[in-house]
A and B are shown apart, each in its own frame.
Chain A
Amino acid sequence: MPRSETRHYSEEELLMHLLQEETPEAGENIAGHVRECGECNAVLREYELVVARILRWGLCDLSAEVWDADRVRLLEQFRRDQSWLERRGLLRTLMHGFESTWSYALENPLPTLGYIVVAFAFASERTITFLKLDRVVPATSEVIEIIRQFF
């Protein structure tokens, strides 16, 4: 026996049917039942009226001038926020770079140590040449050369 003949539908089911929020199968059953059942049909019609009245609730809309003024205000705020976000973005990029480097160093300690020594050796050699430290500490260049050959 089809469901439509077995019982009346609840008000909730009828409202969902009206709003087409039920499954297609349930929709067919309810539509069939409502065609034959005066009681459910009356409830459905009443909800139809209620929904129609709800939808007549209008809006106190704003004029184009008000919207324009609000848009200007909003865009000013947007510009202010953007410059702040840009500054924050640069800082975030630096922090992100530092974090990535630190993670790499923790995962690969030996290569990192190698890079540091090479960088140090390179920087030292430049410093020695530039400041002419060889004259003050004669063995410095040899020490640097040993480190470089070692790595």
Chain B
Amino acid sequence: MTSPLSDEDLVEGTLGGDEDAFSQLYEKYRHPVYATAYRIIQSAEDARDATQEIFVKLYRSLRSWNPRKASFSTWTYRLASNHAIDCWRTRRRKHETLDSEDTGEKAEREYAFGDAIRSPYREIAGREQVDAVRRCVDLLPELQKKVFVLRYFQELKLDEIAEMENCSLGTVKTSLFRATHAVRRALRKARN
């Protein structure tokens, strides 16, 4: 049995036009990339489109990845979160002009998005609390949103995020605290 190729090998293969290497990179990172996009954009349909766009961007800008500066996963998450923020901005603008439906309807539509989407969580956990977290994260400023998603869901360390975002560790810590504090308040409000 052959050992799985490292990210460096896969990147090298992709740069050389090896479709199989790129396919393996996609297989390895599609889920975390989609998860990042989904939690920032908060729409399965848009997150799916964003994931495709992120991977196109990824192989087109692969030459700019410097392994001495960041690991491939960190570089990928940076690309993913930045693109997701752009999509979220576009989506917000669109919703502002179209006067979007309320969150409940949005959530329903999301679950009606093909039979392909499953969400076992909904049946198990308190929907109100999850909605409170979602709504709160949607209202967070961009940096707080990015730090929140990357720290809690991609489990990146804060110093990695600071390096990725080119800002100080203190700024990242404060952003994460403010975001978590806002969620704490939202959860309290939802409980009451």
Contacts and interface: CB of A to CB of B under 8 A. Distances in A.
Main secondary structure of the interface of A (DSSP, over half): helix
- By size class, the interface of chain B is 35 or more
Contacts of A71: 23, 26-27, 30
A5 interface: no
Contacts of A78: 19, 22, 59
B177 A15 contact: yes
A125 to B, nearest CB: 44
Main secondary structure of the interface of B (DSSP, over half): helix
A60 B44 contact: yes
A138 B153 CA distance: 86
Interface residues of A, number: 36
Nearest to A83: B17
Interface of A: 11-12, 15-16, 19, 21, 46-47, 50-51, 53-63, 65-67, 70-71, 73-75, 77-79, 81-82, 85-86
Interface of B: 17, 19, 22-23, 26-27, 30, 34-35, 38-39, 44, 48, 51-52, 55-56, 59-60, 110-111, 113-122, 125, 129-130, 133-134, 151-153, 157-158, 173-174, 176-177, 180-181, 183-184, 187
Given A50-B180, A56-B130, 9 more contacts: A12-B173, A53-B133, A58-B119, A58-B125, A59-B38, A60-B110, A60-B117, A63-B117, A78-B59
